[in-house]
Amino acid sequence: MLLRCRISLAHFDLDVDVAFDARVTSIFGPSGSGKTTLLDAIAGLRNIMAGEIEFNGRTLFSSSRKIDIPPQERGIGYVPQEGALFPHFSVRKNVLFGAGRNPHPGRSEGISVDHVLDILEISNLLDRSVTNLSGGETQRVALARAILSRPQLLLLDEPLAALDVGLRERILPYLRRVRDEFSIPIIYVTHNMTEVLSLADWVLMIKEGRIIDQGVPREILPSKWISVDPDQSQVENIFDAYWVGSDAVAGRSKVRLRSGRELLIPYMARPFNSSVQVRIRGDDVLLATKRPDGISAGNVLQGMVAKMEIVDGQAIIKVDAGDTFIVRLTAGAVTALGLTEGQDVFLVIKTRSCVVL
């Protein structure tokens, strides 16, 4: 996608000039930075002072060429923060409105109504009025409607923000299947680092209307995330992995990371070699300069300090252990351990610190 646009906002001008090509591109930044305005511009819902928007070889907007494709003809599915359901329709009619549309040839096929209803857990809501839905239910219905329209591009504006943690973690794998199986490109707005790392192939980091950095999410150090959004306090690792086996008596399971390294995690029953994602918070990882003995932690991995940054008395440390781990320590701990870049270290991770998404 080519995205050039300048839009006047209350406190600053949104001025963006980027090109990207990814299955899922996340726009990450604090509230009021212009994220939603950018989605509205792509969808054709916002006046643009000047610029061009092109997607998949098609010009959606060009101020110089006087092109402005109407929103309904852009082939875009959009889930805004508030859901924007049709209040005079039932849940069933809202969902089937998306399923019944066929405005664009070559759309993604194979997404069934029953499957989407099942994944988003809204089958029991079909006969209800949308005015009687909770915030989380509203977003789930809006997401189902957008996915079932089988768009050429899907815009999601913090679609999981109103959902509880359990449901959010069940929906994320479905969004990854949409990404992988149905090839619908997604632009995903969020201020949640977990969602970016779990779902996105590319991230645009925006602050006060400017793209200040972009790249592969896992290659951007947490210090950059924190500088973009000071409220982003978590330092997280999310790994793609495969299920190796489970031991109910010991209360633990084993997964294999893409590097071949294995991790012990809390017990869960899964089919052998099924794919999962594992989250480990950077604050839950200990570092040792010698291999520890006689400890209860289930995971000890040898690695090397690849990079260190000190930010506001905190040390953000990137450790290469076959897979890259981000660890956060105090600056005092770094001094006490005498850590330097290039030094061999051991990662110590409790089994229960490994969470399956």
pTM comes to: 0.83
Sign, CA torsion 153/157/161/163: negative
| pLDDT greater than 80 at residue 281 | yes
Q: Give the DSSP letter of residue 129.
A: B
Nearest to 84 by CA among 34, 130, 47: 130
Mean pLDDT of 304-333: 91
In whole angstroms, give the CA distance from residue 6 to residue 49.
6
Mean pLDDT of the chain: 88
Domains and CATH numbers, the chain: 2-229 (3.40.50.300), 238-356 (2.40.50.100)
In whole angstroms, give the CA distance from residue 266 to residue 352.
6
Q: What is the pLDDT of residue 168?
A: 75
Q: Quick count: other Cβ atoms within 10 Å of Cβ 123?
A: 14
Mean pLDDT of 249-256: 94
Each residue's pLDDT tens digit, 188-233: 999 888 889 999 999 999 999 999 999 999 888 777 777 777 666 6
Q: For a pLDDT cut of 70, what percent of the chain falls above it?
A: 94
Give the range among 51-55, 158-162, 256-260, 277-281 with minimum mean pLDDT. 158-162
Each residue's pLDDT tens digit, 66-79: 999 999 899 899 98
Q: What is the pLDDT of residue 105?
A: 45
| pLDDT greater than 70 at residue 107 | no
Give the range among 144-148, 194-198, 309-313 with minimum mean pLDDT. 309-313
Give the range among 36-40, 79-83, 214-218 with minimum mean pLDDT. 79-83
SS3 content of the chain, % helix, strand, coil (to 5): 25, 35, 35
Cβ-contact 314, 228 below 8 angstroms: no
Sign, CA torsion 330/353/299/262: negative
Beta bridge partners of 280: 237
In whole angstroms, give the CA distance from residue 255 to residue 272.
10
Q: What is the pLDDT of residue 111?
A: 75
Give the range among 107-111, 121-125, 146-150, 190-194 with minimum mean pLDDT. 107-111
In whole angstroms, give the CA distance from residue 22 to residue 122.
30
Q: What is the pLDDT of residue 231?
A: 63
The rounded Cα 181 to chain-centroid distance in angstroms is: 17
Cβ-contact 353, 235 below 8 angstroms: no
In terms of phi and psi (left: phi > 0; alpha: psi -120 to 50; beta: otherwise), the region of 294 is left
In whole angstroms, give the CA distance from residue 224 to residue 212.
10
Q: What is the pLDDT of residue 41?
A: 96
Cβ-contact 67, 54 below 8 angstroms: no
